[in-house]
């Protein structure tokens, strides 16, 4: 099996700090030991013999034995403050050869009565006796099935150290931006040297008419070149135009913005989840579906001939239905009015024709009763229909409420996504700001080049051969070009660092999940 160092490198990609890795392996071993169930600890425990007293340092004590001359008797553990009581024969805690005791004090295990004892323990580790990750592939007195948890623990710590190291953006600050400053400083030094040569030449040739633009202390072009280069360097990493807005600070702000963007995306994912069958939205959808199904069931009842007023046409002819009873009452009213009921010559028309007012009133009283009966059955029919409609409306209202809940939760998720997008726009703004600052720096470099070109023209106009100045200026231009190349390198390095950091984050989360599950299973035995 590969060493612990090789196993960790397989998980994290690259890690060279062997001293830190030894500490991580040691910490992981102790943490896994603390999570072990007692049965597992006893399985891998070691037994060492001692007389009277032995050291407890570097071990987790499981139990202590004392030989009574025949067998090894288990020792009961007492607090160190009770050590006098186990030596007092009149005390109820007095220890005997068949009922021995032990206590731990000053990192020492002491048995009483004195004699030959055995310490059953498993080793623990500290920085003074750290495990060597580069040479070990297994741990003595350690369950084989739990060693992978030690590797996972060390890998997570290594990833955290890698991510912590990246927060300084050292590859950008010290390599790219530092190189830019270095090259500009070289250009500044070269130009200062060239300026010294020109000043020396000016001293040697004396006064030249109409050359104040070149030689005057307040307007000379060499000062313009130096000032432009100084300002370009300050724009990159010199707190210009402000401490919060030079290129280096903008790059740090971009990194911080990306971290916040990732946090918002994690919040949105917590609402939506990766599993469409789980989460708050899925629960609301299920409840909404159930409410709609209840509404459909109520509608089915309205359409069923057995219990609804909206059945087939036979309902109107069935003697027990409400509408049939309404029809029966109305039919009787019709008979009483003009169809010889209760007998020929006694319907309402006949009685009216006969002007028999007393019998007519009686007949009309019966008609009123039948109409009331029809109205009652009709009201009953309407009430049943209203009940079903209300039942349907209640279910649909419940479904609509769950739909509103879903919309609200989706709005939360959308808000997090919008916040993440806003952070992305903020990062883009910071990058645009950095690019603008770099553009100003490039303009300053262009101004320096323009002043250098002007110097060359003025010097050429007077046919002055300034020995050595031309090569210095060419070297300065080369340094400036190299500095511009490092600007592009800074952008490239930043993109690579961002990708690497995101991979570290994802890998650390995966390893943490595997480790947590392993610890839980280990604790359960």
pLDDT at residue 86 in the model: 95
In the chain, where are the structural domains located?
4-166, 172-273+424-496
Alpha-carbon distance of 109 to 103, in angstroms, equals: 6
Residue numbers of the chain with a pLDDT score lower than 50: 206-210, 308-309, 311-317, 462-465
* pTM exceeds 0.75, yes or no: no
Classified as helix, coil or strand, 142 is coil
Q: 251 — phi, psi (to 5°)?
A: -65, -40
pLDDT at residue 85 in the model: 95
The closest alpha carbon to 156, from 515, 490, 517, belongs to 515
Question: DSSP per residue over 195-259, as a string?
Answer: HHHHHHHHHHH---TT-HHHH-TTT-HHHHHHHHHHHHHHHHHS--S-TTTSHHHHHHHHHHHHH
Structure token pair of residue 494 = 């930043």
Contact (Cβ atoms closer than 8 angstroms) between residue 109 and residue 56: yes
Classified as helix, coil or strand, 341 is coil
Contact (Cβ atoms closer than 8 angstroms) between residue 345 and residue 352: no
Contact (Cβ atoms closer than 8 angstroms) between residue 371 and residue 325: no
């Amino acid at each position: 099996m590969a060493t612990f160092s090789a196993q960790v490198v397989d998980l994290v990609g690259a890690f060279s700090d062997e001293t830190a890795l030894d500490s991580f392996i040691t910490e992981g071993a102790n943490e896994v030991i603390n999570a072990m169930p007692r049965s597992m600890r006893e399985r891998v425990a070691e037994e060492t013999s001692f007389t009277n007293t032995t050291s407890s340092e570097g071990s987790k004590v499981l139990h202590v034995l004392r030989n009574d001359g025949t067998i090894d008797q288990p020792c009961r553990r007492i607090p160190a403050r009770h050590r006098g009581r186990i030596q007092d024969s009149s005390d109820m805690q007095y220890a005997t050869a068949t009922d021995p005791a032990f206590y731990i004090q000053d990192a020492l295990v002491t048995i009483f009565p004195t004699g030959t004892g055995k310490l059953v323990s498993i080793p623990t580790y500290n920085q003074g006796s750290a495990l060597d990750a580069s040479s070990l592939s297994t741990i003595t007195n350690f369950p084989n099935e739990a060693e992978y948890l030690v590797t996972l623990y060390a890998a997570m710590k290594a990833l955290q150290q890698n991510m912590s190291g990246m927060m300084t953006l050292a590859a950008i600050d010290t390599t790219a931006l530092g190189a830019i400053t270095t090259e500009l400083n070289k250009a500044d030094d070269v130009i200062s040297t060239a300026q010294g040569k020109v000043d020396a030449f000016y001293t040697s040739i004396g006064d030249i008419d109409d050359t104040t633009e070149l030689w005057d202390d307040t307007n000379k072009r060499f000062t313009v070149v130096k000032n432009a280069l100084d300002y370009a360097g300050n724009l990159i990493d010199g707190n210009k135009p402000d401490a919060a807005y030079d290129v280096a600070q903008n790059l740090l702000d971009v990194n911080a913005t990306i971290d916040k963007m990732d946090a918002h995306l994690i919040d949105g994912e917590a609402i939506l989840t990766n599993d469409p069958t789980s989460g708050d939205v899925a629960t609301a959808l299920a409840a909404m579906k159930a409410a709609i199904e209840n509404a459909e069931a109520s509608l089915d009842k309205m359409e069923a001939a057995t219990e609804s007023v909206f059945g087939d046409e036979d309902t109107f002819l069935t003697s027990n239905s409400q509408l049939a009873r309404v029809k029966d009452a109305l039919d009787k009213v019709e008979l009483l009015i003009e169809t010889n009921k209760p007998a020929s010559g006694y319907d309402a028309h006949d009685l009216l024709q006969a002007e028999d007012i007393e019998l007519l009133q009686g007949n009309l009283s019966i008609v009123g009763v039948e109409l009331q009966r029809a109205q009652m059955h009709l009201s009953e029919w309407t009430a049943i229909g209203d009940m079903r409609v209300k039942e349907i409306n209640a279910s649909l209202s419940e479904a609509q409420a769950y739909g509103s809940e879903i919309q609200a939760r989706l709005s939360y998720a959308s808000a997090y996504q919008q916040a993440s997008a806003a952070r992305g726009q903020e990062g883009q703004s910071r990058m645009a700001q950095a690019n603008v600052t770099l553009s100003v720096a490039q303009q300053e470099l262009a101004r320096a080049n323009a002043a250098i070109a002007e110097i060359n023209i003025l010097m050429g106009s007077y046919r002055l051969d300034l020995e050595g100045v031309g090569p210095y200026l060419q070297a300065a231009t080369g340094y400036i070009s190299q500095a511009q190349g490092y600007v592009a390198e800074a952008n490239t390095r930043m993109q690579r660092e961002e990708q690497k950091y995101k991979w570290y984050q994802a890998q650390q989360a995966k390893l943490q999940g595997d480790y947590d599950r392993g610890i839980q299973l280990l604790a359960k035995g």
